[in-house]
Amino acid sequence: MNKESRFHISKRKALPWYKAWAIRGAAIVLALIVCALITTLATGLNPLKVYGTMIQGALGTPRKVWTLMQNLAILLCISLAVTPAFRMRFWNIGAEGQVLISALACAACMILLGDKVPNAVLILIMIAASVAAGAIWAVIPAFFKAKFNTNETLFTLMMNYVATQLVAYFVIVWEVPKGAGKIGIINQSTQAGWLPQIGDYKYLLNILVVAVLTVLMYVYLNYTKHGYEIAVVGESERTARYVGIKVEKVIIRTLLLSGAVCGVAGLLLVGGTDHTVTTTIAGGRGFTAVMVSWLAKFNPIGMIFASLLLVFLGRGASEISTVYGLNNSFGDILTGVILFFIIGSEFFINYQLHFRVKAEKGGEANV
Amino acid sequence: MENKTPAVAMRDITKTFGNIVANDKVWLDIYRGEILALLGENGSGKTTLMNMLSGIYFPDAGTISVDGKEVVIRSPRDAFALGIGMIHQHFKLVDVFTAAENIVLGLKEGGKLDMKAAAAKIRAICDTYGFDVDPDQKVYDMSVSQKQTVEIVKVLYRGADILILDEPTAVLTPQETDKLFAVLRNMRSDGKAVVIITHKMHEVEDLSDRVAVLRHGQFVGDMLTKQTNAQEMTNMMVGHAVTLNIRRPEPKNPRKRLEVKNLTVRNVDGIVKLEDVSFTANSGEILGVAGISGCGQKELLEAIAGLQPVETGSVTYYEPDGGAEELLGKDPLAIAEKGVVLSFVPEDRLGMGLVGSMDLTDNMMLRSFRRGKGPFVDRKSPKKLAEQVVADLSVNTPGVSTPVRRLSGGNVQKVLVGREIAAAPTVLLTAYAVRGLDIGASYTIYDLINQQKEAGVAVIYVGEDLDVLLELSDRILVLCGGKVSGIVDGRRTSKREVGLMMTKLGGGDANE
């Protein structure tokens, strides 16, 4: 019996919020220490300086702050989009494709209708087209899930590839100039279909739209009948049917919403900032959003902080690789370590380790 | 008997979960050649105590000695090494494996895995104690009682001579229970120590040699079974005197409320679960439904509630004012929209009736959240309802914003029954309403059901404890393999008659 393990694990009862946050704080401190060790051992640089550079890279100038906010807004928007589906335990990992297809729809409107309709009408059409494209892309897997119980994870994942290929095809169709292999800035001279800029702030509109969406999504999920139905379906389909909720209808309705919000992200990307479309316009954020949503436990308000963290780490990591001439991957290593600790801390919030004390008297130290 | 060294002596065992003290300085002695019944209400810490003996939990304080030697049990493996084995209430078997594969699973024996030798050893164990297990049968093909047998053989295979059974009869028919008890008696004469956790008094009296009682995590006392009686034991468990009689008021002005005709149901695999079932349920009357588990009870209730697709038949609802309404082909929402208030307490409380992660208020809302115009839900009246249910049924909860999953089984059931009754139903369907509930909570539920009956509700009560069915029901519908075996008068029939009807259609020509 002495060969038995030196500790055992048990599930915690609910932990008061301040203790949970203390654990999370400790995890971040530990992560920073480990990162510092790695930095010193691998590069010989002063870790404090490296951290300083990260902060500089993310928040150093007003322009950098705006870029950070813009990236935050887009990532948050996509995270908001996947969240209703996730609350329903519908694993929509097709946000990447839904954003791409709506970006394509938005770009198509700008290219094809650019000088044919008044600008205000064009923007309305763009909004409708982007939102519809995202919604359709999400509702196809939802329909098959509702009717035939297909696996939504695989289905939405496959839809991503279809969307990427479609964008790749149309990039060639609409390439400017011929042979360039890219579309370039659409309507650069007329600025037709460009979403209006508020004052001098290029990104402010995007940020405001996403801020409003965050509040709306929070209210929708927590205080409306729809939000309640989503929670019931997610927790137990049998309970949902028992109280007469039409599960198929809720699945389809929720994915329409999920895809539509992805559509907004596509619209903001193409109409608001990039004014072009490429196969990498979503930049993997459809997948990062999955992590944001989980990190925040599907709470829109928590997602603000989760996406801030991820965007901050990403911006900081790329800054240190430029400043110190390090390989790009070094920033990723640090980001990985920090995320590992943060996600790992959830384990210690939910579970408890009991270490075995030297004497075999059955005494236990609780950690 | 009392002069022997106990096989297991637990001393001053304390275990806390957060702020809850599950066991508080408990003393317990278990002897070989004896069957000990461990009694106590839900949440009194019986299962926790036994889990510490079988290595699932580790005590915060206190000592455990086996055969007079102090031991440390850190895992089920340690427990097995000491000859302690536990059969849990929820079976821990792999469905796609055979009995033998399940039995050897997790064993660390040197050399190659020899399934033939294992099967032979299993057969030898079965012969010794009178079990009936086919080592090559897959678990998914087994009945509940067969699965339980596999669990018991699994423990014996590992050489256990101290057996703990957690509510083993909850899922068995009277005949299966008798068989199990015969096996347990064989084990006793073989010198094994047997501990059985149960709520059922007649089983304690039938089977055990000694009784130990826990209350609120504390050890109240133990005594020889033949020197005590059900009333005394119950009082010790509850802490004050309780009456053990179930009221059965005469039905007042019973009128046809629900008529089921020629109902046939197939499940998704195309297997017939109900065949040509016909009966009437009257207002102001309790119709008990008896049957071995899985004989179509679930399908019957779900078909009436609009949750189960039906092949043929009809379910007609007669309104108190004379109108009639066909319920088949309607989903629960459509039934409710027709003005039929049909309440349903399903078997799987947290899987169907309630949402475990939601709090009491949100669970109260399940039935009523559509009320009111506009897109927003109103949480005020559900909160009031939750508070009222908590007060009326004395639900033990820290508050109405506690997730129901955190409540004990009895309190979960009170929340569910409270909500279903609050709708002022005309038909009340209940499936295993007292499963896993302690005596106090069970009697609360019987009382609530009786109140509904007296209020003129047609109650359909699917039960598993025949003693209760016979005391509570006005009429009893007996199902056997999805068919109606008969409908008998609850006041005139006997346990034996119903038991026979459960196992044989019509219960006739049973020659024993």
For residues B132 and B204, state if they share a domain.
yes
B363 interaction partners in chain A (CB closer than 8 Å): none
- pLDDT band at residue B427 under the 50/70/90 scheme: very high
What's the pTM? 0.78
Give me the residues paired with residue B212 across strands: B38, B222
* Tens-digit pLDDT profile for residues A143-185: 999 999 999 999 999 999 999 999 999 999 999 888 888 898 9
For residues B111 and B211, state if they share a domain.
yes
For residues B89 and B185, state if they share a domain.
yes
Share of chain B above pLDDT 90, in %: 40
pLDDT of residue A202 exceeding 60: yes
Contact state of B357 with A235 under an 8 Å Cβ cutoff = yes
Q: What is the CATH number of the domain that holds B146?
A: 3.40.50.300
- pLDDT band at residue B4 under the 50/70/90 scheme: confident
**How far, in Å, CA of B426 to CA of B455, rounded?**
9
Contact state of A362 with B59 under an 8 Å Cβ cutoff = yes
**B244 found inside a domain:** no
**B247 found inside a domain:** no
pLDDT of residue A367 exceeding 60: no
Residue A357, pLDDT score? 56
Query: Please, where are the H alpha helices in chain A?
Result: 17-43, 47-59, 62-87, 95-113, 119-148, 152-173, 204-223, 225-235, 237-242, 247-267, 285-295, 300-323, 328-350
Instruction: Supply B176's token pair.
Output: 């299966």
Q: How many Cβ pairs within 8 Å bridge chains A and B?
A: 90
* Tens-digit pLDDT profile for residues B293-316: 778 899 999 999 999 999 999 999
For residues B185 and B334, state if they share a domain.
no
Residues in chain B: 512
**B232 found inside a domain:** yes
CATH number of A62-306: 1.10.3470
For residues B54 and B146, state if they share a domain.
yes
Residues 6+ apart with CB under 8 A from B253: B283, B284, B456
Instruction: Supply B340's token pair.
Output: 């039929």
Contact state of B331 with A241 under an 8 Å Cβ cutoff = yes
**B2 found inside a domain:** no
For residues B309 and B336, state if they share a domain.
yes
- Which residue type does B414 have? K
- pLDDT band at residue B3 under the 50/70/90 scheme: low
B74 interaction partners in chain A (CB closer than 8 Å): 1, 4-5, 8
For residues B419 and B430, state if they share a domain.
no
In degrees, rounded to 5, the angle at the alpha carbon of residue B77 between the alpha carbons of residues B71 and B82 is 40
Q: How far is A1 from chain B (nearest CA, A)?
A: 6
For residues B123 and B232, state if they share a domain.
yes
* Tens-digit pLDDT profile for residues B175-201: 788 888 998 999 899 899 999 998 778
Question: With an 8 Å Cβ cutoff, is B307 touching chain A?
Answer: yes
pLDDT of residue B468 exceeding 70: yes
In degrees, rounded to 5, the angle at the alpha carbon of residue A247 between the alpha carbons of residues A241 and A253 is 150
pLDDT of residue A132 exceeding 80: yes
**B447 found inside a domain:** no
B18 interaction partners in chain A (CB closer than 8 Å): 12-14
Better-scored residue on pLDDT, B95 or A160: A160
Write phi, then psi, for A144 (nearest 5 degrees).
Answer: -70, -35
Is the ipTM, as predicted for this complex, more than 0.85?
no
**Number of domains into which chain B is organized:** 3
Instruction: Supply A266's token pair.
Output: 């596509």
* Boundaries of domain holding B281: 252-341+425-434+456-512
pLDDT of residue B139 exceeding 70: yes
**B219 found inside a domain:** yes
Question: With an 8 Å Cβ cutoff, is A244 touching chain B?
Answer: yes
Enumerate residues 382 to 441 of chain B having a beta carbon within 8 A of any beta carbon in chain A: 406
For residues B301 and B193, state if they share a domain.
no
| Residue closest to A70 by CA, chosen among A269, A278, A286, A320 | A269
* Tens-digit pLDDT profile for residues A248-259: 999 999 999 999
Instruction: Supply B299's token pair.
Output: 């399908």
**B496 found inside a domain:** yes
Tell me the average pLDDT of chain B.
Answer: 87
For residues B79 and B228, state if they share a domain.
yes
Best mean pLDDT range from A215-219, B75-79, B227-231:
A215-219
For residues B413 and B509, state if they share a domain.
no
Better-scored residue on pLDDT, A126 or A365: A126
* Tens-digit pLDDT profile for residues A228-238: 999 999 999 99
Best mean pLDDT range from A2-11, A289-298, B119-128, B165-174:
A289-298
For residues B388 and B462, state if they share a domain.
no
pLDDT of residue B511 exceeding 60: no
Q: Cis link prior to A177 (omega < 30° from 0)?
A: yes
| Residue in this structure with the two tokens 């309780």, named with its chain if needed | B242
Q: What's the rounded mean pLDDT across residues B109-133? A: 84
B332 interaction partners in chain A (CB closer than 8 Å): 241-244
Residues 6+ apart with CB under 8 A from A210: A73, A74, A76, A77, A80, A268
Instruction: Supply B246's token pair.
Output: 């179930």
Q: Where in chain A do CATH 1.10.3470 domains reside? A: 62-306
| Residue in this structure with the two tokens 């801390």, named with its chain if needed | A345
Half-sphere exposure of B40 (CA within 13 A, CB side): 27
B333 interaction partners in chain A (CB closer than 8 Å): 244-246
Q: What's the rounded mean pLDDT across residues B105-122? A: 82
Residues 6+ apart with CB under 8 A from B460: B258, B281, B286, B287, B289, B301, B304, B427, B428, B429, B430
**B231 found inside a domain:** yes
